Amino acid sequence: MKGIVFCISGPSGVGKGTIVKELMRIDPELALSVSCTTRAPRPGEQHGREYFFISQEEFRKKLEGGEFLEYDEHFGNFYGTLKDHVARLADAKKLVILEIDVVGALKAKEYYGTSRKVVNIFIKPPSLEALEERLQKRGSESEQQLRIRRERVKFEYGQADLFDYVVLNDEVARATWEIYDIIQKEKSKQ
Ligand code: 5GP
């Protein structure tokens, strides 16, 4: 059986990180892909666990060396998925999870084409208003930063139709089990 790549995606602030953590806890068969980022680690984050934290210079070198299957910029920081890393996980563990933004998920699917099965799952907030409210509550951003974020969220929200599955994040446990079921269904189709 060839490995399957599952992209867990959705607008920023939708709670995909929490859902992915839960998924990893309930299904030991899943392997989480660790991306590279140029952003600084947050308290408690570890190099090689949440991300490979690298410098802008290192990121540029990897980019020029063609090491990323996709990459994107978020608010001045770069994020990229390593081709070799995903290939190694997919060959060994078969079911690979990418927690990735909306554009990245679409790019990953395009990158693999027919060479590997990629299942794109879009996590949807109960409403666009609820998501905007959450962003506003973070409170750490200037009005201009908030405006940029809102525009991006609106754009990301509008991409749901391009995904294989749309899962409503009305409740973390319920949404997690729905995704778990999708993974089992896709696995049994292989
Ligand atoms: P954070 O800095 O909060 O960890 O992540 C910011 C955003 O970057 C999130 O939407 C996250 O899903 C996305 N992200 C994380 N890794 C990657 C990656 O490798 N590629 C892309 N395109 N987005 C990523």
* Residue 101 CB–ligand 1 contact under 6 Å: yes
* Residue 93 CB–ligand 1 contact under 6 Å: no
pLDDT tens readout for residues 10-21: 998 889 999 999
Cβ–Cβ < 8 Å for 51, 34: yes
pLDDT tens readout for residues 7-47: 999 998 889 999 999 999 999 999 999 999 999 999 999 99
b/e map 59-94, b = 16+ CB within 10 Å: beebeeeebbbbbbeeeeebbbbbeebbeebbeeeb
If you average pLDDT over residues 86-91, what whole number do you get?
A: 92
* Residue 150 CB–ligand 1 contact under 6 Å: no
Provide the pLDDT for residue 87: 94
Provide the pLDDT for residue 140: 64
pLDDT tens readout for residues 53-88: 999 999 999 999 999 999 999 888 999 999 999 999
Q: By C-alpha distance, which of 50, 44, 68 is closest to 58?
A: 68
The ligand 1 atom at the shortest distance from the C-alpha of residue 51 is 16
pLDDT tens readout for residues 128-161: 888 888 777 766 677 888 888 888 888 998 999 9
Q: By C-alpha distance, which of 11, 21, 27 is closest to 181?
A: 27
Cα 104 to ligand 1 centre (Å): 8
If you average pLDDT over residues 155-177, what whole number do you get?
A: 96
Provide the pLDDT for residue 139: 64
Provide the pLDDT for residue 153: 87
Provide the pLDDT for residue 175: 97
Instruction: Write a three-state SS string for the chain.
Output: CCCEEEEEECCCCCCHHHHHHHHHHHCCCEEECCEEECCCCCCCCCECCCEEECCHHHHHHHHHCCCEEEEEEECCEEEEEEHHHHHHHHHHHCEEEEECCHHHHHHHHHHHCCCCEEEEEEEECCCHHHHHHHHHHHCCCCHHHHHHHHHHHHHHHCCHHHCCEEEECCCHHHHHHHHHHHHHHHHHHC
Does this model's pTM top 0.85?
A: yes
Distance CA 6, CA 109 (A): 10
- Domains annotated on the chain, with CATH: 4-188 (3.40.50.300)
Cβ–Cβ < 8 Å for 18, 129: no
In testing the pocket of ligand 1, which one of 9, 101, 134, 155 has its CB within 8 Å of the most ligand atoms?
A: 101
